[in-house]
Amino acid sequence: MAVATLTIDLNAIADNWRALDAKSAATVETAAVVKADGYGLDAGRVSATLSKAGVKTFFVAVAEEGIAVRKAIGADAVIYVFSGCCAGDAPILKEYNLIPLLNSVEQVNTYLPSGAPFGIQLDSGMNRLGMEPAEFAALKDTITQAAPRLIMSHLACADEPDHPQNVAQLAAFRAMTDGLSTRKSLSATGGTLLGADYHFDLNRPGVGLYGGAPFTQASPALRLSIPVIQTRDVALGETVGYGAKWQATRPSKIATIASGYADGLIRAMGNGPVNLYAGDTPCPLIGRVSMDLITVDVTDLATVPDSLDLLNPIQTIDHLADAAGTIGYEILTSLGARYNRVYKG
């Protein structure tokens, strides 16, 4: 087989949810964000696993994503939609019992008369989604009389614990919601780790469930094993790959393996340092990442195995992200459709 195998450990994802849940008091609910197809790992399977582990509330980005989640978790769990109710969403929200987090005056005015359940999204300083303080103040009585299920906002800098915007957004969220009896939520993974002040009634981690920063204690959920298609010896001074960017400084053995940027191995990753692993033994990725192939210096291996691992407990999505100048989220959601996906647990 010349396609790589991506093994997704659903038990690790459930463990990560339990570990994040343990960061807050027993009275605080820990939900799960499964947008973007469960950060690329299959929203249906991830939600079913987390539902069994005890998750009662899920979040998706857009209404359409709620369909697979509803099918996976049954009728009881609550599913919120971050984008609220956009044109054409109402029939999907109704049929699959999804709760929109209304984020503008227009959405509130259009949706409230339906009498269907809703939540409210406020802007506390990120300026992306949600009603501004003045907009919310003007509609506060109408909204609270209609009994929203949740009032939430989102932190822009929670992955930087000392960033002054965290306390500023906390204060802004409090100023808008103090005294309301509605359940409140401010924190994703980063805010969950900032401590009890940020917890309110419900935390909504995403990336930490899947093993990504800023939840550095997470159990790694992924292994990516890439088959070796060919090995060759190159002489001192020969170059490997596009642009002839890597040059052998000793007689070397090079393995060519079957994954590339078309599989989400972002080309900038070639800037390294990135390793491929033969068991626990690191072998450097060398040369440029091409569309379907990457090249590895296996000179120091006694025997070259049938496949080499790019993701394992030693080298996680965040290591690849650092090399590529991006974040673990982008590595996760880029992992390719071509992989043979194996689910554990």
Ligand X SMILES: *Cc1c(COP(=O)(O)O)cnc(C)c1O
Which of 188/254 has CB closer to ligand X?
Answer: 188
Site membership for ligand X, residue 204 (CB under 6 A): yes
User: Does residue 205 interact with ligand X by CB under 6 A?
Assistant: yes
> Of 14 and 240, which CB lies nearer to ligand X in the complex structure?
14
Q: Measured from the CB atom, is 6 or 202 closer to ligand X? A: 202
The one among 154, 184, 199, 319 contacting ligand X by CB under 6 A: 154
Q: Are 141 and 182 in contact (CB under 8 A)?
A: no
Whether 242 is a known active-site residue: answer: yes
Q: Which of 17, 58, 80, 82 forms a contact with ligand X (CB under 6 A)? A: 82
Active site residue 39: no
Site size toward ligand X (CB under 6 A) is 12
Nearer residue to ligand X within complex by CB, 35 or 184: 35
* Site residues (CB under 6 A) for ligand X, limited to 118-137: none
Residue 190 Cβ, how far from ligand X at the closest point, in Å?
A: 6
The reply to whether 40 sits near ligand X by the rule CB under 6 A is no
Q: Is 335 in the site for ligand X (CB under 6 A)?
A: no
Convert residues 14-33 into a mask of x (bound to ligand X by CB under 6 A) and - (unbound): -------------------x
Comparison of 43 and 207: residue with beta carbon closer to ligand X:
207
Q: How far is the CB of 31 from ligand X (least distance, A)?
A: 9
Q: Exactly one of 94, 242, 245, 344 is catalytic; which is it?
A: 242
Active-site residue among 35, 39, 80, 261? 35
- Among 12, 108, 176, 207, indicate the residue that binds ligand X (CB under 6 A): 207
Instruction: Report the half-sphere exposure of 296 (CA within 13 A, side-chain side).
Output: 31
- The catalytic site residues sit at 35, 242
> Site residues (CB under 6 A) for ligand X?
33, 35, 82, 154, 188-190, 204-208
